[in-house]
Amino acid sequence: MATTLTMDKPDNRDRLDAMAQGVIGKPLDRPEGPLKVTGTATYAAEYDVPHCAVGVLALSSCPRGKVTDIDRAAAMEMPGVIGVYADDAMLRRPAQGTAGEAPVQDVGTVDYFGQPVALVVAETFEQATAAAQALTLTYEPATDHIAFDAEGPNARIEDAPENTPVDQGDLDQAMADAAFTVDEIYRTPGHNSAAMEPHASIAQWDGDVLTLHGSYQMIGYNVDELADSLGVEPDKVRIIAPYVGGGFGSKLGISHEAVAAAIAARDLGRPVRVVLTRPQVFQTTMRRSETRQRLRLAADADGRLTGLGHECLVSNLPEEGFAEPVTQATAFLYGGANRRLKVDIARICRMNAGSVRAPGEAVGMQVLEAAMDELAEKVGIDPVELRKRNIPECHPSEGTPYSSRKLAEALDAGAKRFGWDKRNPKPCQQREGEWWIGTGMASAARVNNLMPAKARVSIAPDGQVTVESDQTDIGTGSYAILGQIAGEMLGTPIERVTVKLGDSNLPKGAGSGGSWGAASTGSAVFAAAQAIRATLAERLGCGEEELALKDGIATGPNLRADITDLLKGEALIEIGEIEPGDTGDDFAQASYGAFFTEVAVNAYTGETRVRRMTGVFAFGRVLNEKTARSQCYGGMTWGIGSALMEELAFDTRDGHLVNHDLAEYHVPVNRDVPALEVILLEERDPAANPMQAKGIGELGICGAAGAISNAIYNACGVRVRSFPITLDKLIVALPPA
């Protein structure tokens, strides 16, 4: 049977709080953890598929144009080479998240330097690699002048699609009348997700049915994208992805290697494995767009915002609808009656821009929070107080109420735990040997989304519970969380709950993206379990809300029975479904938090070290304390990378990516990350979903880099408005050592 819940109004029943098992929210281990740490979890490229050939993509050395000829002769004569493919159905770009249809195809048209243009298939990886390098490609370069740089002279600037500008009141007059103003340009570079597991697919056909072992985040959508790319019906495609070694947005949509592997496998009549090399991951998969952001803040004598402007320039390829939603949190975080929020997009020749962890807020918040620090200094009030003073009563532009919001509480809790009251607001006041020491803070905010999702929950005659969904686990804890929800609702010890994920033959979950996986697919599990509870309650002779289930025992008013007796030797199976409803429009939904950090800046070299960092986060009900805390650690680590080291470097003469590996694209390593402190503020958000939980996967990055930037200024007195804040940008402006 199927049970559908639609969020048309807030759910204030606190059903999970009324359960008796006591596993929800607990810091339980991830059940698949031992498989991963012992190397026995099978990732996409690791399946032992007999007679499997290996494909390697060949990339374009032309920045834009047409492939007019592929000389295959030399490659085909090399040992082990089976075929060379440049099929029109192969992808020029990966699909955007939740696209559900084929992205731009026809690899003979070149959109950017490093675009895949052919696939070489051989018996071994080494043979395929050598043959791909031996291909001779002839190009007809494009004659029009499309820019390689968003701020270059040939860049074509457009209004960003799917972005609604805000122009409210008179910002220019507010700036003119304000007691204090900030008007600055900030820049952030492009980023790569740099997930540990590279993009990988094994394609195998059985007649006209394709099975793909792939590394993907949202396989319900990916099935449709892959089927559309290949010209087959979705019911002829199965994607299996039980373990995904990170994604961070880069694996939201179907990518080059999956379609290429499927085309070659269909032609050869044998399985084909295609794994992107690390440079290919950087050169061909989703990037976060670089940004230029103009922040204007107008405040009265008390530091209350009267005007707020956030105007941004981002980039993407022609024809792409995605534009980094930089102003997403700015729209609702702080007040100010006079507002101008706008995103423009430059059409340039770089690989596809799309969602990278916390699209919008990850780069928008760090800049907004840096600007707020500048305003606090000008007004002469504490940065924490400035933010609290500007928390609006309702959404500043739309007038909708907030569903729940513990921003002020997070700011206060973080300040107390960090010891913010001991901070000297004046820069260059603390020195330890050759190091300037400073502290900084920032708010955190990330929009909350609920997505359609389904899940099947069954309870066997012996009381064993099984949860099934095509929901993926990309290292975030889906296996643990979904099991906890079912175990709590059905009174089943967690060791008697089995969770099966990552197979498109299972009910369609929400997928892992946008921090919505646990809350959305979890709500589907909740709905299915609630339907089972209703059946058990009826058999026990009580109402569902009177039923208590714990350790396999059902109790009601003066009633008690083993659950196995109520099952009567038969399994109960329910499919739960969650649908977004009116609460998505009736309330401004977001998760909130605050960062506090201490840094040391070398007085001679400009080297910056983060010495300690505290994050406080409020995101509705905590479903698993351990996995939630881990996500916060990960987000804060990303914040360190965004602040100090991560940037994609492009050659603006031809758009090629210069630093396309982990040797040159620097991410934080163990030495860069101090002992991070995370505080979780429990709350309930009845408008979010029936579980009253919100997303946490991305909140930990949103504003973190701004806090580090502010701490650097407090340490050495240097404001750097171009991220990352590398030592070359600091050393030229450091005070005398």
Distance CA 249, CA 132 (A): 28
486 close to 465: Cβ distance less than 8 angstroms = yes
For residue 316, the one-letter residue type is N
For residue 644, give the nearest of 683, 680, 674 by alpha carbon.
Answer: 674
Three-state DSSP state, 169: coil
Q: Characterize the bridge pairing of strands 435-447 and 431-432.
A: antiparallel
CA torsion angle for 526, 531, 534, 540 (degrees, to 10)? -100
SS (HEC) of 395-413: CCCCCCCECCCCHHHHHHH
Distance CA 348, CA 657 (A): 13
For residue 448, give the nearest of 682, 636, 692, 250 by alpha carbon.
Answer: 692
413 close to 616: Cβ distance less than 8 angstroms = yes
For residue 721, give the nearest of 293, 310, 355, 271 by alpha carbon.
Answer: 293
Q: Characterize the bridge pairing of strands 209-214 and 237-240.
A: parallel
193 close to 475: Cβ distance less than 8 angstroms = no
Q: Dig out the tokens for 62 from the structure.
A: 């032309």
| Residue found by looking up tokens 């740490």 in the block | 37
Q: Dig out the tokens for 426 from the structure.
A: 């004046």
Annotation marks residue 46 as catalytic = no
SS (HEC) of 303-368: CCEEEEEEEEEEEECCCCCCCCCCCCCHHHHCCCCEEEEEEEEEEECCCCECCCCCCCHHHHHHHH
**Angle, nearest 10°, between helix axes 256-268 and 219-230?**
50
Q: Which residues, at least 6 apart from 666, have a Cβ–Cβ distance to it below 8 Å?
A: 641, 645, 646
CA torsion angle for 84, 89, 94, 96 (degrees, to 10)? -170
CA angle 556, 557, 560 (to 5 degrees): 45
Three-state DSSP state, 89: coil
Three-state DSSP state, 185: strand
Q: Which residues, at least 6 apart from 648, have a Cβ–Cβ distance to it below 8 Å?
A: 189, 190, 191, 192, 282, 287, 290, 657, 659, 665
The residues with which 521 forms a beta bridge, in sequence order, are none
Three-state DSSP state, 592: strand
Distance CA 21, CA 363 (A): 41
Q: Dig out the tokens for 507 from the structure.
A: 């009910």
Report residue 124: phi and psi, to 5°.
-130, 160
Q: Characterize the bridge pairing of strands 497-500 and 465-468.
A: parallel
Distance CA 149, CA 154 (A): 8
Report residue 664: phi and psi, to 5°.
-110, -25
User: Of how many residues is the chain composed?
Assistant: 737
The secondary structure of residue 45, as a DSSP letter, is G
311, 374, 577, 698: which one is catalytic? 698
Which active-site residues does the annotation give?
Answer: 698
